[in-house]
Structure 1
Amino acid sequence: MADTTILIPAAALVVWTVVMFFWMLIHRMGLFRQHGINVAKMPPGAVGGDIARVAPEAKDWVAQNYNHLMEQPTIFYAACVILSLGGASGYDVGLAWFYVVVRVVHSVWQARVNVVSVRAALFVVSSLALVLLAIRAFLSVLG
């Protein structure tokens, strides 16, 4: 039987990603209004990154963070499922919660302040936790 305890921080990061999704939508609507961007007049195939061409001073940091939550955390989710099936320890669960907390702090920092040196440090710290989780997931399936 799978140990679902480690899936709780994974589910929490899923919920946080949904929060960031809605934050991005609301933020982008404001950017569009503020910079007179009419989405109906955008060329076919335009993407969020095209906002910078239309309004170079627009800070689309919330959307950039939402995109980041679609990237590296996919490894986190896989590691959590593997550890759930292989039997996660309390250390694994604590590490998973640590990863989630640092990613949430990273999200808020990037969306509101975005000083790159701090953001990079948060990314490195969360990445180290993820590397440990990935190694522990791999070891759990080796027996």
Structure 2
Amino acid sequence: MDSSTFLSPVIALIIWSLLIWAVLYLRRIPAMQAAKIAPDTAKSPNGDWKSKLPLKVEAAAHNYNHLMEQPTIFYAFMFWAAITGAATAMILYLAWAYVGLRVLHSFIQVSTGPVMVRFGVFSVSTLCLIGMVILALLN
């Protein structure tokens, strides 16, 4: 399998992460202006300024942070699999499932959907990631 095909889920998740970054600031900047929060007072990521912003605004920020966490394992694994020759069609299918589930997770979170539904989607995406690793180890 050629590496550009195998790594296409990686670029898809990177593009998705950048779109969520844009949503974060498209929501946060106007909300900060409306709440009269001066950028200089928002120096600490855990400052009291965040309590002045609606959940919908902060949900995009939380989701962006989530896209910087577990997907780093996905990225590292995908490049490892491509470099070592562990790339298989089944791993590619699971990679696309992982990306699709992460996108669904984002939609649920940025729309402030039910936490337990979001957790379920996150859990299934994690199982996809675990499955990818197990398949690579068994090859």
Range 21-30 or range 1-10, more displaced: 1-10
Determine if the alignment matches structure 1 residue 127 to structure 2 residue 123.
no
Amino acid at match of 1:114: G
What is the TM-score with the length of structure 2 in the denominator?
A: 0.87
| Higher RCO structure (Cα 8 Å, ≥6 apart) | 1
Identity of aligned residues (%): 35
Deviation, 1:68, is 0.3
- The answer to whether the 8 Å contact 1:76/1:134 transfers is no
What is the rounded CA distance, in whole Å, between the counterparts of 1:137 and 1:82 in structure 2?
10
Deviation, 1:84, is 1.0
Q: What is the RMSD of the two structures over their aligned residues, measured on CA atoms?
A: 1.9
- The answer to whether the 8 Å contact 1:61/1:114 transfers is no
In structure 1, the partner of 2:13 is 13
What is the rounded CA distance, in whole Å, between the counterparts of 2:38 and 2:71 in structure 1?
32
What is the rounded CA distance, in whole Å, between the counterparts of 2:114 and 2:8 in structure 1?
30
- The answer to whether the 8 Å contact 2:16/2:103 transfers is yes
In structure 2, the partner of 1:64 is 62
- The answer to whether the 8 Å contact 2:102/2:125 transfers is yes
- The answer to whether the 8 Å contact 1:4/1:84 transfers is no
Deviation, 1:2, is 6.2
Amino acid at match of 1:37: I
What is the TM-score with the length of structure 1 in the denominator?
A: 0.85
In structure 2, the partner of 1:104 is 103
In structure 1, the partner of 2:75 is 77
What is the rounded CA distance, in whole Å, between the counterparts of 1:138 and 1:33 in structure 2?
51
Range 60-69 or range 86-95, more displaced: 86-95
Deviation, 1:73, is 0.0
What is the rounded CA distance, in whole Å, between the counterparts of 2:33 and 2:110 in structure 1?
19
Residue ranges of structure 1 left out of the alignment (5+ in a row): none
